């Protein structure tokens, strides 16, 4: 394949791509595309491409490669993702003993770190069935400060030395002597741990995360920042880095509740596009902090409620009146109900049409009832969802079933019902909770562990490309069509098909005569497409070196 260098592939050049498979609704049989000044100028057939060949700055011979819109990951924690990529990552630990050995090795390899940072333990998958104790971590680190988040990032285990850096932590909600910290106690130790990260460490982590995203064909990420998750400096530093260097686009959200217009000044000052993202209405199922209507199957309580319907209503009202997108983190059915009731109350105050036009969004939104599905559609709420959660924790023996029992677990992440009701979907990873992996995310939605929740590959792909743009209010992007931004990826892929993995999924578009453009076969066990090149705004941000 003939590639220009990144320096050559600038926004001002005119480029013709030809001899491939261009995934475009403008022409389902397209094999060529012209990029001009960072915008898609034309999509069409190989024969018509001859007319452009002499008038462009560069011709790229695709050699049969697939060209698609670049993916948008609608929920990312960029710095935490980079720290996991470059630091202590326990997502691959198979046992408690394995995790402790990895902690010991990381400690020995980083003698100068003031605080050791790690992520990804999941005791639900370990034969021991429990997280490491404080005494075990104290021994493994030689008494050094350590902050180690559970895979869902809603609880953490820490060493005594880190607790000593947080006066009064034992008086905070969520403090437990020898079980994972949650709630306010967790937020306090996280702030103390992150406070010692240097600007250089943070920038290096952000670059590593954005480079990984670009290498996977991701052209845009939605950074979900907030005072309980990261910091103002973290968000502004990331936005400055993304604006000044070649890489994926970054749109930031700031998750701080507002009760009036003045509370939203910070959102604008930070350069965020909305007061949304991980504005916590509840926690997470794995940490027993998602808020439920009925108690957990394995713990005699209903989780944790951080915001009630009145607080949701106040936030949505303030945001809608200010012309700012609002959004929340809600996982449990009681939390999703609180969001629906709050947004409905806001609509009663400011008008349903204004609420719908604002495209407020809800992150995760895992536990629905038929009533809340219908309410999402009526209120124009976008469901920003992570199909890899189901791939990791779904199934009859998965963490969801442990926490909720099999019957309730089977109701989780009902993507088909949401699409049937007209609820917009935007797909993401919540990285580092689950990895950046766009084709794997599409596969997880199409081959949901609960068959009735499966959606077509085409629908999942659209939700992971165009859906992410629509979630920020842009209907003209995330698609290869004239006038759209030239954000695309080139892939080495196998045979293209129109794939509906379950007979219950609507299959009207599977007939080749419908002119539906094909996508790679994502049947589990098969190889996923390999990204050869990623382009954002006409500028190459990733180029596979061996192509």
Non-local CB neighbours of 537 within 8 Å, separated by 6+ positions: 11, 38, 249, 485, 486, 487
The DSSP 8-state label assigned to residue 137 in this structure reads H
The region of weakest confidence among 114-118, 150-154, 189-193, 417-421 is: 150-154
pLDDT bin (cut points 50, 70, 90) of residue 494 is confident
- What is the number of alpha carbons within 13 Å of residue 537 lying toward its C-beta? 11
Asked, for residue 125, whether it belongs to a domain, the answer is yes
Neighbours of 365 (CB within 10 A): 29
- For the segment 307-336, the average pLDDT, to the nearest whole number, is 98
The DSSP 8-state label assigned to residue 195 in this structure reads T
Non-local CB neighbours of 545 within 8 Å, separated by 6+ positions: none
CATH number of residue 329's parent domain = 3.20.20.140
Asked, for residue 57, whether it belongs to a domain, the answer is yes
* pLDDT of the residue at 214: 98
Which one of 153, 173, 196 terminates a domain? 196
What are the tens digits of pLDDT across the range 46-83?
888 888 888 899 999 999 999 999 999 999 999 999 98
Question: 442 and 301: one domain?
Answer: yes
User: In Å, how far are 1, 301, 331, 360, 426 from 367, measured between CA atoms?
Assistant: 46, 17, 6, 18, 17
Q: What is the CA radius of gyration of the chain?
A: 23
Asked, for residue 236, whether it belongs to a domain, the answer is no
pTM value?
Answer: 0.90
Please give the Cα distance from 232 to 235 (Å, whole number): 5
| pLDDT at residue 380 is higher than 80 | yes
Asked, for residue 39, whether it belongs to a domain, the answer is yes
* pLDDT of the residue at 120: 87
What are the tens digits of pLDDT across the range 111-170?
988 899 988 899 988 999 999 999 999 999 999 999 999 888 888 999 999 999 999 999
Asked, for residue 164, whether it belongs to a domain, the answer is yes
Domain span at 428: 274-472
Total domains in the chain come to 3
Asked, for residue 9, whether it belongs to a domain, the answer is no
Instruction: Spell out where 215-290 has E strands.
Output: 218-225, 249-254, 274-275
Question: 406 and 355: one domain?
Answer: yes
* Tokens 């990204």 -> residue: 531
Cis peptide, bond prior to residue 432, ω within 30 of zero: yes
Instruction: Spell out where 1-135 has E strands.
Output: 14-18, 21-22, 32-36, 39-44, 58-61, 66-69, 71-76, 88-89, 116-121
* pLDDT of the residue at 514: 52
Question: 403 and 290: one domain?
Answer: yes
Please give the Cα distance from 35 to 58 (Å, whole number): 10
pLDDT bin (cut points 50, 70, 90) of residue 508 is very low
* pLDDT of the residue at 144: 94
| Structure tokens that stand for 198 in this block | 């240097």
CATH number of residue 65's parent domain = 2.30.40.10
Q: Concatenate the DSSP letters of all residues of 295-321 into one string.
A: --SSSSS----SS-HHHHHHHHHHHHH
CATH number of residue 143's parent domain = 3.10.310.70
Please give the Cα distance from 368 to 375 (Å, whole number): 10
* pLDDT of the residue at 1: 57
| Structure tokens that stand for 394 in this block | 């779904």
C-beta of residue 276 within 8 angstroms of C-beta of residue 327 = yes
* Tokens 């935490």 -> residue: 80
Question: 408 and 314: one domain?
Answer: yes
Asked, for residue 488, whether it belongs to a domain, the answer is yes
Mean of the per-residue pLDDT values for the chain?
Answer: 92
C-beta of residue 338 within 8 angstroms of C-beta of residue 302 = no
């Amino acid at each position: 394949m003939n590639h220009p260098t990144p320096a050559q592939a600038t926004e001002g050049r005119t480029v013709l791509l030809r001899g491939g498979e261009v995934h475009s609704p403008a022409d389902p049989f397209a094999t060529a595309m012209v990029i001009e000044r960072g915008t898609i100028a034309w999509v069409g057939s190989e024969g018509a491409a001859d007319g452009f060949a002499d008038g462009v700055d560069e011709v790229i011979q695709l050699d049969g490669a697939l060209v698609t819109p670049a993916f948008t990951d609608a929920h990312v924690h960029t710095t935490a993702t980079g720290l996991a990529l470059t630091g202590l990552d326990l997502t691959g630990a198979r046992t408690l003993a394995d995790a402790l050995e990895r902690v010991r090795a990381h400690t020995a390899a980083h003698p100068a770190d003031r605080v050791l940072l790690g992520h990804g333990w999941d005791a639900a998958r370990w034969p021991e069935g429990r997280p490491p104790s404080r005494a075990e971590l104290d021994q493994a680190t030689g008494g050094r400060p350590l902050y180690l988040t559970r895979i869902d990032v809603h609880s953490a285990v820490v060493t005594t030395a880190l607790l000593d850096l947080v006066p009064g932590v034992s008086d905070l909600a969520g403090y437990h002597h020898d079980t994972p910290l949650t709630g306010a106690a967790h937020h306090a130790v996280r702030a103390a741990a992150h406070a010692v990260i240097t600007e250089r460490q943070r920038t290096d982590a952000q670059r590593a995360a954005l480079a990984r995203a670009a290498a996977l064909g991701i052209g845009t990420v939605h950074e979900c920042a907030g005072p309980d998750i990261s910091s103002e400096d973290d968000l502004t530093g990331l936005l400055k880095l993304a604006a000044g260097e070649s890489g994926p686009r970054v749109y930031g959200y700031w998750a701080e509740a507002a009760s009036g217009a003045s509370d939203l000044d910070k959102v604008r000052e930070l350069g965020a596009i909305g007061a949304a993202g991980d504005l916590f209405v509840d926690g997470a199922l794995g940490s027993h902090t998602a808020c439920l209507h009925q108690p957990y199957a394995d713990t005699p309580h209903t989780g944790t409620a951080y915001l009630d319907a009145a607080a949701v209503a106040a936030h949505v009202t303030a945001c809608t009146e200010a012309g700012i997108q609002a959004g929340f983190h809600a996982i449990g059915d009681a939390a999703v109900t609180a969001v629906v009731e709050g947004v409905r109350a806001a609509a009663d105050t400011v008008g349903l049409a204004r609420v719908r036009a604002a495209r407020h969004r809800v992150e995760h939104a895992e536990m629905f009832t038929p009533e809340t599905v219908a309410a999402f559609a009526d209120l124009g709420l976008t469901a920003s969802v992570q199909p890899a959660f189901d791939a990791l924790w779904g199934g009859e023996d998965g963490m969801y079933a442990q926490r909720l029992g099999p019957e309730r677990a089977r109701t989780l992440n009902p993507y088909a019902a949401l699409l049937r009701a007209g609820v917009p979907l935007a797909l993401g990873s919540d990285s580092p909770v689950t990895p950046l992996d766009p084709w794997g995310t599409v596969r997880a939605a199409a081959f949901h562990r609960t068959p009735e929740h499966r959606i077509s590959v085409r629908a999942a792909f659209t939700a992971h490309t165009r859906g992410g743009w629509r979630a920020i209010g842009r209907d003209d992007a995330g698609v290869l069509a004239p006038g759209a931004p030239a954000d695309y990826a080139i892939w080495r892929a196998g045979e293209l098909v129109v794939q509906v993995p379950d007979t219950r999924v609507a299959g009207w578009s599977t007939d080749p005569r419908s002119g539906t453009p094909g996508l790679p076969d994502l049947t589990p066990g098969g190889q996923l497409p390999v990204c050869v090149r990623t382009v954002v705004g006409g500028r190459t941000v990733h180029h596979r070196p061996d192509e």
